[in-house]
Each structure stands twice: as C-alpha cells, then as structure tokens.
Amino acid sequence: MTHATLGSPSRGVAAGEHKEGTITKTIEHYTSMVPSGTYLTLAVGSIGLAAAMKLMGRDKDAQFIGHWVPTILILGLYNKLVKLEGSD
C-alpha cells in the first residue's frame, strides 16, 4: 500500500504546530459543560424510540431515528476526548 504525503514523507503534525480556530474553541467550551452521561442517555433513548416506532409499524421513522445512535455516541466520544485531553 502506498501513502500520499505532502512535504517530507516521514513528518507528521507535531503537538502545538497548528492551533484550533475560534469557532472550534467556542463549541468545545460549551459542549464540555454537557455531562458525558447525557450522550449515552440520548443514544439509549433513541434506541427505545426507534423500537417503539418499529412496533407501531412506522418502519421508515424507526430506521431514521435508529441512525441517530452512532452519531450521538461519536459526539459523546469526542466530548469525552476533549474533556480528558483538551483541544490545544
């Protein structure tokens, strides 16, 4: 497998080499105030709502709501990483 590179082939991005933008910092500031359990609760709630929709015969709605779950969990993971590691 070949890798495409820009600049020198063995150089990665060093810590502190690039800074986050103002918008990113603002979003991370406010989202870091949200407890991590909120994302898990929203994901489990989405699973329950999707199951209820499926039982009511609303298959397309159930599938649409079911697709929220991985997105919510990934947002929760990002939130947790920002809290633990910081952004800059």
Q: Is residue 41 part of a domain?
A: yes
Pair 47, 73: CB distance under 8 Å: no
Query: What is the domain range of residue 66?
Result: 36-85
- Residue 50 reports pLDDT greater than 80: yes
Q: Is residue 20 part of a domain?
A: no
Instruction: Please count the structural domains in the chain.
Output: 1
Predicted pLDDT of residue 23:
86
Predicted pLDDT of residue 78:
87
Residue 87, classified by CB atoms within 10 Å of its CB into exposed (0-12), middle (13-18) or buried (19+), is middle
Instruction: Report how far residue 84's alpha carbon sits from residue 40's, in angstroms, rounded to the nearest whole number.
Output: 17
Q: Is residue 42 part of a domain?
A: yes
- Summarize pLDDT for 13-34 with one digit per residue, the tens: 666 666 777 888 888 888 888 8
Q: Is residue 56 part of a domain?
A: yes
Instruction: Report how far residue 54's alpha carbon sits from residue 37's, in angstroms, rounded to the nearest whole number.
Output: 26
Angle between the N-to-C axes of helices 68-85 and 22-31, in degrees from 0 to 180, rounded to the nearest 10: 100
Q: Is residue 30 part of a domain?
A: no
- Summarize pLDDT for 53-63 with one digit per residue, the tens: 999 999 999 99
Tokens 């709630």 locate to 45
Q: Is residue 76 part of a domain?
A: yes
